[in-house]
Amino acid sequence: MAFAPMGPEASFFEVLDQHRASLLAALKRGGGEPAGGTHLASRFEDSVGLHMVSHCTTRKIKSDSLKSVKNFALILKILSMIYKLVQSNTYATKRDIYYTDSQLFGNQTVVDSIINDISCMLKVPRRCLHILSTSKGLIAGNLGYIEEDGTKVNCSCATAVAVPSNIQGIRNLITNGKFLLIVEKDATFQRLLDDNFCNKMSPCIMVTGKGVPDLNTRLLVKKLWDTFHIPIFTLVDADPHGIEIMCIYKYGSMSMSFEAHNLTVPAIRWLGLLPSDIKRLNIPKDTLIPLTKRDQMKLDSILKRPYITCQPFWRKEMEIMADSKMKAEIQALTFLSSDYLSRVYLPNKLKFGGWI
């Protein structure tokens, strides 16, 4: 699968290449040093993220208890469905399972929770249960691969490609990409496509999870890291919600900590929008948004997490946000010019190493 790069001269990528060399050197040394103690049922390690510990709190669901008999029955029902899927080597989505008996399950959340519990209980990734999630993410840029059914996919077209629903099944991945950019919001991702960012910064790859990433988008980012070990950056709003999304990609989430080794990429760096960029670029105050009480609580919660202790530059940025009591969306950059993000902001950040 051939790609035709149209991007900047090789010298543009010097700092990026140095960053990649340092990442590869860290991998050879065995990743990061363990950092931090316990956090609920998870432990944080710099090289893995949040992951389960063996002495975590457990709960019992009994068949002879009125309080849990229905949940017990639902677990058995879904286990029987999983057994049939594995026996027949077929796959189903969580939505498929819900619609087999929507009245019994009540709502999709019940099914999602039980599948997570079963995956955690059996200590296997969800895809080993032959249950897939419906993908909502998109991918574009210098990447090609073959799907499980033999379909050849080329992501270098003008329009984005949907993230596959079976990441484990894709093979023959190929890229010359110098970096992978994770974009928080679909609107920003589409704007970068419209501005021909992938070609201007070629070779590169862009991914969006359209907000909080689904499992498949996280699996794809992890697979790209494991396969190519190219630098990965995040572009998120300068607000607590954006930081939270970045943390999910980098360190994982409590709800999926039992599968951290398959999902987290601690090598991810924060490219923008940094709270310090707001002052540096003289973004007008009337384009900023005051932090809500909920925002402040979220920010306080993130600052208390164990992985922030080994990210002093992240802490400093969050403290800038807390002190100013203001947040900013990526769209605030359009005040400077309509294409400032793709024409100036990102190229300068990538060329001069403006990530933390």
pLDDT tens-digit readout, 139-190? 999 999 999 889 999 998 678 999 998 898 899 999 999 999 999 999 999 9
Which residue is catalytic, options 83, 91, 98, 99?
A: 99
Q: Give the pLDDT band (50/70/90) at residue 41.
A: very low
Please list the residue range(s) of the chain that carry CATH number 1.10.10.10: 61-132
Contact 119, 125 (CB under 8 A): yes
Which pLDDT value is given to residue 40?
35
Check pLDDT > 80 for residue 256: no
Q: Give the pLDDT band (50/70/90) at residue 238.
A: very high
pTM score of the predicted model? 0.79
Q: Which of the following CATH numbers is that of domain 138-352: 3.40.109.10, 3.40.1360.10, 1.20.1630.10, 3.30.1360.80? A: 3.40.1360.10
Check pLDDT > 80 for residue 242: yes
Q: Give the Cβ contact number of residue 122 at 10 Å.
A: 13
Q: To which residue do tokens 């999602």 refer? A: 112
Average pLDDT for the chain: 86
Cis bond before residue 34 (omega within 30° of 0): no
Contact 234, 247 (CB under 8 A): no
Please list the residue range(s) of the chain that carry CATH number 3.40.1360.10: 138-352
- How does 310-337 read in b/e, with b if 16+ C-beta sit within 10 Å? bbeebeebbebbbebebbbbbebbeebe
For residue 164, give every residue at least 6 positions away whose Cβ sits within 8 Å of its Cβ, in sequence order, or none.
135, 147, 153, 170, 216, 220
Q: How far apart are CA 107 and CA 94, in angstroms?
A: 11
Q: How far apart are CA 330 and CA 349, in angstroms?
A: 14
Residue 91 falls in the annotated catalytic set: no
Which pLDDT value is given to residue 262?
78
For the chain, the distance separating the N- and C-terminal CA atoms, rounded to the nearest angstrom, is 34
Please tell me the CATH code under which domain 61-132 is placed.
1.10.10.10
